[in-house]
Structure 1
Amino acid sequence: MKNILIVIDMQKDFVDGSLGTKEAQNIVDCVLEKINQYPKENIIATRDTHEENYLETQEGKNLPVVHCVKGTEGWELDERIAQALEGVRIIDKPTFGSVELAEILYNESQNQALEVELVGLCTDICVVSNAILLKAKMPEMKITVDSACCAGVTPETHKAALTTLAMCQITVK
């Protein structure tokens, strides 16, 4: 059994930038501890990645706050997280869930049994999207979300996402 850690969107814009929250800032130490529990080759990180035309996209029209534009400071991983993830595979994803991530893990699961744990930001958007995408692609894989290492847009939507995850047979701890 190979245990994989997925670190979702621990980027400056989500921690303390244009969409940052105190809850996001408060999970950085917990995420660092979690990263240190896994061998680097068993960690994959994602970055929310938008282009200059973000406000013209469907997402930008519904969330008109420019964030995570490729190459900007806000797109970069939080400095401490970036140091901890040095050498780790990073997937740039243009939307909430990463089909590329699901394909990578699906292909790996064909050769070896996997368990996946997700941490990061935001529980109620990108964490839940990736967890459900993985569950849809690999329904028999054990998928866990560590709620102490996640933060939502608001505390209420964080809790709602955790409820949704549990209802979709994703382990919430």
Structure 2
Amino acid sequence: MKRLLVVVDFQKDFVGGFCTPERADEVDGCIADKIRAYRDNGDKIIFILDTRETAYLNMQDSHVRPMPHTLDGIGNGLYGQVAELRTDIDEVYFKASFGSSDLFVRLMKAQKVAASMGVLPFVSIEVAGLSATRCLLSNVVIARTACPEVPVIVDARCTVARDEDSMRKALDILAELRVDVLNAD
């Protein structure tokens, strides 16, 4: 049985662009180290990419953030070392909201097959990326919902929020969801 690493929204517009939370570029090395470790162990890696259409200004999210972002082919590419480490064997899902419905479907299928054999689909599901308060948190909830008996892990060194107060609140919520939060201090 393998572990699963889900990397959420570690993209140009969210790290090096105008949507940047505090210290977003500082987690690049931590996420890259996780990817290397998972790959060296033969584990599974999924990338979730926030990807908007050019009609972004007509979407609900545009009222909160009126600047188009993560447009397909423009700002939605992976960032930094993380971008260099993605390979063709990794699954990539695109989303236009906080949580990935494709991730949910993928995990539900894995859960169903594993349950039919009396095992868990993964040893653990670790979620890393941006932002701890929205997209990372939403995809953690998806993982917990689709695979309720699989331990879900978030390493606090591999995610950030818009500020320290928001980060603390996100980590508290993750702990309440019975997520194994590592390195929170």
Displacement of 1:47 after TM fit? 0.5
**1:102: which partner in 2?**
104
**1:153: which partner in 2?**
162
C-alpha separation in 1, matches of 2:164 and 2:71:
26
Displacement of 1:51 after TM fit? 0.9
C-alpha separation in 2, matches of 1:117 and 1:133:
12
Q: Partner of 2:23: helix, strand, or coil?
A: helix
C-alpha separation in 2, matches of 1:78 and 1:62:
24
Does the Cα contact within 8 Å between 1:18 and 1:66 map onto a contact in 2? no
Work out which of the residue numbers 127, 132, 145 in structure 2 matches 1:118: 127
Root-mean-square deviation over aligned CA pairs: 1.5
Does the Cα contact within 8 Å between 1:120 and 1:151 map onto a contact in 2? yes
**2:76: which partner in 1?**
75
C-alpha separation in 1, matches of 2:60 and 2:106:
26
Q: Partner of 1:65: helix, strand, or coil?
A: coil
1:1-40 aligned within 5 A: 1-39=1-39
More strand by proportion, 1 or 2?
1
Q: Partner of 1:81: helix, strand, or coil?
A: helix
**2:92: which partner in 1?**
90
Structure 2: runs of 5 or more not aligned: 115-119
Displacement of 1:21 after TM fit? 3.7
C-alpha separation in 2, matches of 1:54 and 1:150:
26
1:59-70 aligned within 5 A: 59-70=61-72
Aligned residue pairs total 172
Structure 1: runs of 5 or more not aligned: none
Q: Partner of 2:3: helix, strand, or coil?
A: strand
**Structure number with bigger Rg:** 2
Greater than 4 Å deviation, 4+ residue runs: none
Deviations 1:141-170 (A, max 9, x none): 211111110011222212111111111111
When normalised by structure 2's length, the TM-score is: 0.87
C-alpha separation in 1, matches of 2:48 and 2:26:
19
Displacement of 1:22 after TM fit? 4.4
